[in-house]
């Protein structure tokens, strides 16, 4: 029961006021604009990643990633002992997510394309590459493959944006992008 019920019980037969009608039209037009922008950015903005996904055993993915890191390791990151891996341009690169780290650190060349393979060893994690705004969910048993072509040099953070437990806030990885032919 309303505190102040309408005088006429059949309210939908009452005339709509001019101010109310203006706001309804504005809201409808704004909805059409926003819907159109979603289509526009999908087609023109290249906002959506073209990914491929495969089923994979986590142990098999971990083995491929460790072999990749052993083959292309150039140094270790600070005092963490995490390997920094510099694969050849145009090749496959592997990064795994596990409590509470992304492993290994990647070093890629600006302007070169790579096939980035991602998977989780334990729980669902988020792969958010900042500040580039690449954002996907990383699941165990699934190998995600996406093409990345770095367009600027620098150190980029990989942040887990899916809550994965008590150490979630510490789950940060790195991708270094360097000019062709240079070493960090």
pLDDT at residue 1 in the model: 58
Q: 28: exposed, middle or buried (C-beta count within 10 Å: 0-12, 13-18, 19+)? A: exposed
**Mean pLDDT along residues 76-103:** 91
The residue among 3 and 2 whose pLDDT is bigger is: 3
- Could you tell me the CATH superfamily of domain 51-178? Cupredoxins -  blue copper proteins (2.60.40.420)
pLDDT at residue 47 in the model: 59
Cis before 131? omega within 30: yes
pLDDT at residue 9 in the model: 74
User: Cβ distance 93 to 68 under 8 Å?
Assistant: yes
pLDDT at residue 52 in the model: 87
The residue among 170 and 48 whose pLDDT is bigger is: 170
Average pLDDT, the chain: 88
Q: What is the pTM of this model?
A: 0.74
- Provide the token pair at 147: 């093409």
Q: What is the pLDDT of residues 8-55, one digit of tens each?
A: 777 777 788 899 899 999 999 999 999 999 888 877 776 566 678 899
From-to residues of CATH 2.60.40.420 in the chain:
51-178
């Amino acid at each position: 029961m309303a505190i102040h019920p309408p005088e006429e019980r059949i309210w939908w037969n009452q005339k709509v006021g001019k101010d109310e009608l203006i706001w309804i039209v504005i809201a409808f037009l704004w909805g059409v604009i926003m819907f159109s922008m979603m289509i526009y950015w999908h087609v023109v903005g290249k906002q959506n990643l073209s990914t491929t996904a495969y089923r994979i055993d986590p142990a098999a993915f971990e083995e491929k990633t460790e072999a990749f890191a052993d083959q292309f390791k150039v140094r270790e990151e600070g005092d963490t002992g995490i390997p920094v891996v510099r694969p050849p341009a145009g090749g496959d690169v592997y990064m795994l997510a596990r409590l509470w780290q992304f492993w290994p650190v990647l070093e890629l060349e600006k302007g070169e394309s790579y096939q980035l393979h991602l998977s989780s060893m334990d729980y669902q994690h988020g792969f958010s590459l900042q500040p580039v705004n690449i954002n996907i969910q990383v699941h165990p048993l699934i190998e995600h493959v996406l093409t990345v072509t770095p367009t600027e040099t620098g150190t980029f953070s990989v942040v887990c944006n899916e809550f994965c437990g008590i150490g979630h806030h510490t789950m940060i990885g790195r991708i270094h992008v360097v000019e062709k032919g240079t070493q960090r």
